[in-house]
Amino acid sequence: MNINDYKKTIKVLEFLKRIQVEVDKEDIKNWLLGGLALAVEAGVIYRCHEDLDIIVKTDNDYRKLINIFSKLGIEKKDEKEIDGFLIYTYRSKNGVEIDISPNEYKFDLTNQDFRDGEKELAGVKSRILSKKYLRKFKELQYKTRGLDKDKMDWDCVNGRVIAVDGVAINSGYFDGLPTQTFKETIIER
């Protein structure tokens, strides 16, 4: 991952924070799923995340969330069908895409998959679905799509360490340096 990928993910998290402020005012419970949920679960940004995948339990919460989207200038972009269920894609003015679905226990979700507590990543708190469900969801994506990001997510959900060269982040003077240059510079100082 490079510094630009990290910044893209931070942009998505900051946007999620804006959404969370508004949904908390309306007492709308929502959960993350997908790659960003795994990053929150792991407590680390291990790859670029450019979108949000959100699920709510009820149609009523879905309608309330869509009203909040409208208030925030988030517009509906598309609809797609997955396993017979509609997923709605929205896009914010700053280019963040949000896939959202009212649940009604679609996609083999159970009550136990909806965790009560929040987890935090980069100062942003959110609810995420159970690790068991995220693992099942990512396994399906990895097998059907086979994208590089799906492989990274699959490795993460299975507890494999993701160690690749990248750039220094949150390292003050060293921010943006490639791994090898970072090591050499540290040794010289």
| Radius of gyration of the chain, Cα coordinates, nearest whole angstrom | 18
Which of residues 29 and 170 earns the better pLDDT score?
Answer: 29
CA distance 83 to 10: 31
Which of 108-117, 125-134, 166-175 is predicted least confidently? 166-175
Q: Give me the residue label for tokens 């910044």.
A: 7
- Give the count of beta carbons closer than 10 Å to the beta carbon of residue 86: 11
> Does residue 85 contact residue 106 with C-beta atoms inside 8 Å?
yes
> Does residue 136 contact residue 157 with C-beta atoms inside 8 Å?
no
pLDDT, mean of residues 135-152: 89
- 27-50 per-position pLDDT tens digit: 999 999 899 999 999 888 889 999
Confidence of residue 175 (pLDDT cuts 50, 70, 90): confident
> Does residue 16 contact residue 126 with C-beta atoms inside 8 Å?
yes
pLDDT, mean of residues 78-94: 84
Pairing label, strands 51-56, 97-102: parallel
The number of CA neighbours under 13 Å toward the Cβ of 148 is: 6
- Give the count of beta carbons closer than 10 Å to the beta carbon of residue 51: 17
DSSP-assigned states of every residue in 88-127: EEEE-TTS-EEEEEE-TT-TT--GGGB-SS-EEETTEEE-
> Does residue 28 contact residue 65 with C-beta atoms inside 8 Å?
yes
Does residue 94 surpass a pLDDT of 80?
A: yes
pLDDT, mean of residues 53-81: 91
Using a pLDDT cut of 70, give the percent of the chain over it: 93
Residue 52 per-residue DSSP state:
E
pLDDT at 162 (0 to 100): 63
pLDDT, mean of residues 96-113: 81
Tokens found for residue 49: 């995340």
**3-state SS, residue 39:** helix
Does residue 106 surpass a pLDDT of 90?
A: no
Using a pLDDT cut of 90, give the percent of the chain over it: 54
pLDDT at 102 (0 to 100): 74
